[in-house]
Amino acid sequence: MGSIQVMRNGNIYEAIDRFTPLDRLAYIHFRNVRGKVPHYVEAFVDDGDIDMLECLRLLKKHNYGGVLIPDHTPQLECRASWHAGMAYDLGYMQAAFQVIGEKDEKRRQDISGTDQKGALHSGSRRYSGRDGILSSVSSAADS
């Protein structure tokens, strides 16, 4: 994502809307940046110019079924800096998927008072990460 965003005329949201429906994206480097070429820096996923939650919502809207890969994580000052950066990104991603899934489920319940299967909602979480990243979010009410 950051590679598109740093381009002088790059707009990641337009790129997602344009290319995701073509079903030609096998994987996406999930990273954030601040600035544009030639003056940009890589940032943590929650600290750059890109609204990562909005990107995930757009990917979900277009039923993206590919892989999201944490990429170019800024180095932390610790003994296992690469691993710590990856853990940070993966934790952010997991939380973001849950937020998106829960918000969508809440909207469906507010409209109908039931989940998609017609059962009254028991208040239990419906998200499951075992079936894939975005497919789990897309089918949160079905798991």
Query: What is the pLDDT at residue 37?
Result: 94
Residue type, 16: I
So what's the pLDDT on residue 127?
30
As a whole number, the mean pLDDT across the chain is: 77
Q: With beta carbons less than 8 A apart as the criterion, state whether 27 and 69 touch.
A: yes
- Of 141 and 97, which is predicted with more confidence? 97
Taking CA atoms, 87 is separated from 10, 62, 65, 68, in Å, by 28, 27, 22, 14
Tell me which residue of 93, 87, 53, 58 sits closest to 73, measured CA to CA.
87
Q: Residue 45's closest CA among 88, 13, 5?
A: 88
Of all residues in the chain, the percent with pLDDT exceeding 90 is 43
> Would the pTM of this model clear 0.75, i.e. be above it?
no
Position 108 scores a pLDDT of 56
Q: Is the pLDDT of residue 121 over 60?
A: no
Return the percentage of the chain with pLDDT > 70, whole number: 71
Spatial distance between the Cα atoms of 120 and 1, rounded to a whole number of angstroms = 38
Identify which has the larger pLDDT, 43 or 116.
43
**Residue 77: what pLDDT?**
87
Name the one residue in this structure whose structure tokens are 């039923």.
63
